[in-house]
Structure 1
């Protein structure tokens, strides 16, 4: 089955990707595919990823549930302290690659196989005009109150990331709940903002400065997505 919306105009999308080398594509998948992906992501037992003074850290859902109030407050204080001084992030995740390694046969495992297939990769090459992408990394992500991702450009010396993407799977969201994908100018101002419309894909060339705005305590929901990179191996 082809998961994509058959009405997509790939030539128009290629033109719109254009000079800014980024694009928000509405109604990217067939409606039934987006609904099924959203339900699958909503059922994940999320892990929290963040950084401390020693580097990247991850707490499983079981570990998070074992924390008492004082331990949770200590964790949040530590995340904020790192954010004051250097690059930081705090959001929930599940690696779809790990699902494949476990031998899962659910929808998300099938979906990452679909994204790694030549048929999908060739469409992404056509839209972006970047011919060398031939591998995909994918993770499910969830931004809840307190989540954020500080400004960075996705470049990693050891990886040849060429494109970043966000498949938005949140049915209802408000801009004042944060969780928006912002793109930065060299002077520190914001040049563009992508709203997480349900069944949309944000795609942009790497490197490109961007951040995800802080989700405040009063946000009534969670911002779910499948995110990752298209890589030239």
Structure 2
């Protein structure tokens, strides 16, 4: 694979799509292990860990979401970043919605040409083409999806995303996805799980951020990303987004 924007994007050819479709339709969600060709997965992991200039996204209760780019993030001290996490955590402790994580806004970066040779530009094109959209349609049964939105995320130690359902007033989101690209031996003790909740607030299912796994679930579903603990040695890297109707 090249270090430029030319990605040889390949799904794992051994995926049993009919069996995966049956599993998805029974639960409305799935974790697909070894989703990509291993060369594709390793290349994308390297891009996220070594080639991506991370911004920062957060929401502190009713203040609404905020996002800043790499240069602004670099201007923040470690103490200021920690204070953001603590303030968001305090809001969550009062029952408010909140999140903090590192972000590279792939669609905005593509449209505004932040870095024309960045590999994530080409990845966004692949996510909006066959075979990825075909895989989403076949496994989910949602034939109406025609496009995918994407962002690169890194949940570093101290980061989290509280319970929500992914419904959006503008975007026709139908199927959410998380392509996990963090280190292969991610430990359960480090957190960063994609958790789903029943009507009583119990965790109904939890997906470990397993390297080269693709999580998919129907929208809406109540879910969160659990707190990545302070002693985690690395961040939880992923490409996340939604397959959407016209």
TM-score by length of 2: 0.89
The aligned residue for residue 5 of structure 2 is none
Partner of 1:56: 65
Counterpart mapping for 1:15-164 below 5 A? 15-42=22-49, 43-52=51-60, 53-68=62-77, 70-85=79-94, 86-103=96-113, 104-164=116-176
* 1:181 aligned residue: 194
Report if the CA contact (8 A) 2:85-2:159 is conserved.
Answer: no
Structure 1 residues not aligned, in runs of 5+:
none
Unaligned runs of 5+ in 2: 1-7
Match of 2:225 in 1: 212
Indicate how the Cα distance of structure 1 residues 225 and 59 shifts in structure 2: closer, same or farther if over 3 A, else same. same
CA drift of 1:70 comes to 4.9
Partner deviation per Cα, 1:198-217 (whole Å, 9 max, x = no partner): 11100000001111111111
- Equivalenced residue count is 233
Shift in alpha-carbon separation, 1:130–1:82, aligned structure 2, 3 A: same
**Could you say if the C-alpha distance between residues 115 and 70 of structure 1 is closer, same or farther in structure 2, counting changes exceeding 3 Å?**
closer
Bigger shift: residues 89-98 or 57-66: 57-66
Q: CA deviation at 1:69?
A: 5.3
Runs (4+) off by over 3 Å: 68-74
Please report how far the alpha carbon of residue 66 of structure 1 lies from its aligned counterpart in structure 2 after TM superposition: 2.1
Relative distance call for 1:156 and 1:116 in structure 2 (3 A) is same
Contact 1:51 1:82 in 2 (8 A): no
